[in-house]
Structure formats: C-alpha cells, structure tokens
Amino acid sequence: MDEDDFDLDAAGPDIAAWEPERPEGEGWFVGSIHDTEDGPVCIWLREKVAA
C-alpha cells in the first residue's frame, strides 16, 4: 500500500481493503494495525520457539 491508496487529508485513511503482506514462515498473526504519520502499519507477532 502506498500513499496513493488513501487520502491523508480525509477524516482518516480508509485502509479497509488493505491486506498487509505476511512475513515469511509459519505462525504469524496480526498484533496490531494502526495509523502513523507515514501511513498504516501492521505489527506481526508469532510465538517464540525454544531452541
């Protein structure tokens, strides 16, 4: 997603259609999605596997 996909001057960006790219590997899930000054951000989390 880039800045052409939403209007920063609107009441808030509409990121409803945004599908953040999942990191490589298994077990990832969305921890949070929020807006920043640079646009939307997705924080991915997964359980730490003991070595």
pTM over 0.85: no
For the stretch 9-41, pLDDT in tens is 666 667 788 889 999 999 999 999 988 888 889
Nearest to 49 by CA among 17, 25, 32: 25
Burial of 12 (0-12, 13-18, 19+ CB in 10 A): exposed
